[in-house]
Amino acid sequence: MHPTRTLSRRTGLALGLALALASWSLPAAAQKVVKIGMSGPYTGGAAAYGKDFESAVKLALEDANAAGIKLDGQAVKFELVSEDDAGDPKQAVSVAQRLVDMKVAGVVGHLQSGATIPASKIYFEAGIPQVAPAATNPTFTRQKFNTAMRVIGDDSQVGAAMATYIVSKMGLKSVAVIDDRTAFGKGLADVVASTVPTVGGKVETREYTTDKATDFKAILTSIKSKNVQAIFFGGLNAQAGPLKRQMVDLGMKMPLFGSSISSDEFVEFAGKDAAEGTYSADSGQAIENMPGGPDFVKKFNAKYGKVVMYAPYGYDATNVLINAMKAANSADPKKYLPEIAKLNFKGVTGPIAFDEKGDLRSAAVTFFQVKGGAWVPLETVASK
């Protein structure tokens, strides 16, 4: 065989292989990375909520990447940048600044109102859209920040519904109100306390604790000495569970009411027997009654395990950003932020469309009760 011809053939094969490899690698190289920031409590008493929420955002981005979305003719890959705020307001502000510095295109979060509200100023000043899945304190969307939206009802809706349910529906006229002094717990308790008298009830006492407390016997002993038919607690599972267990220890038989405590974690903290009969009023519908709930549960469970509580809202919040980017054909916050106000799509949790404040145009409140060691939905009422 002629050496020159052999060399030519080898050169041709090598060139062909190089071109093939280059061609094969082009789509990946052409992808534009779009960073989506998120933050929640991945450590501390609310960590179970935070990890649940984080998994949902991951799932939403995985679905978006699988769909092969293009913006302005270029394939994009959504990349998650997730930071732990531990539910702490100061840490949340530091996290927000880090996410801004990392040039995220949008933010899903934070989870708790106490972290979400102070962080929102950082995002507003940077012009970065922020969609909260669970921050229910009304202040969040009343700061006139056009970057702030939420996909869940607020405390004014849930608190008023809860107070009406206790007094009007159940006929319990004498109520003790306790809160953990967080933006969520206090904000919700304030609404309950102010609404109870308007529907024919009376707040016999108002007590306070913290979101780190585990011993509530002094507060409960004080309440026990008063003519109280119901106790409302503004706070989360890490305090609500031990509180209910200590009520039983003290022989207090009046029901405990709360909000956003309708998870297995509460039953675990309180103990199955002590948890029995507890009520929770939560924004939205029971997950099995959400329009996309059953399908979401199957998909989420297969990859991340059992839904704790806020996963469906985290998934919808992420899709607010993605759908607005698609509508604007851009991941530039300046270009896609105006599209958020125009959105109207079917989310897992229900219709997603915002009013002028950044709140959902329609929301609902569902009441749950522990029966046989499990939370059972009782009824859903429209809140606006």
- The residue extents of the domains of the chain are 1-26, 31-152+288-353, 156-283+366-382
Q: Do domains 31-152+288-353 and 156-283+366-382 have the same CATH topology?
A: yes
pLDDT of amino acid 25: 43
Per-residue pLDDT band at 382 (split at 50, 70, 90):
confident
| Mean pLDDT score, 178-207 | 96
Residue 364 phi, psi dihedral angles, 5° rounding = -145, 165
CA–CA separation, 168 vs 179, rounded Å? 22
| Cα distances (angstroms) measured from residue 273 to each of 9, 199, 276 | 81, 32, 6
Residue 298 clears pLDDT 70, i.e. is over it: yes
Residue 5 CB burial class (10 angstroms; 0-12, 13-18, ≥19):
exposed
Percent of the chain topping pLDDT 90: 88
Token pair 């996909």 is found at 151
pLDDT of amino acid 21: 46
Per-residue pLDDT band at 3 (split at 50, 70, 90):
very low
- CATH number (3.40.1800.10, 3.40.50.1400, 3.90.105.10, 3.40.50.2300) of 31-152+288-353 reads 3.40.50.2300
pLDDT-wise least confident of 6-20, 204-218, 350-364: 6-20
Residue 135 clears pLDDT 70, i.e. is over it: yes
Per-residue pLDDT band at 227 (split at 50, 70, 90):
confident
| Mean pLDDT score, 210-232 | 96
Q: Which has more pLDDT, 111 or 28?
A: 111
The CATH number of the structural domain formed by 156-283+366-382 is: 3.40.50.2300
CA–CA separation, 216 vs 218, rounded Å? 6
Q: Looking at the whole model, is its pTM more than 0.95?
A: no
pLDDT of amino acid 383: 58
Average pLDDT, the chain: 92
Q: Are 116 and 72 in contact (CB under 8 A)?
A: no
Token pair 């990447």 is found at 65
Would you give the DSSP letter of residue 169? I
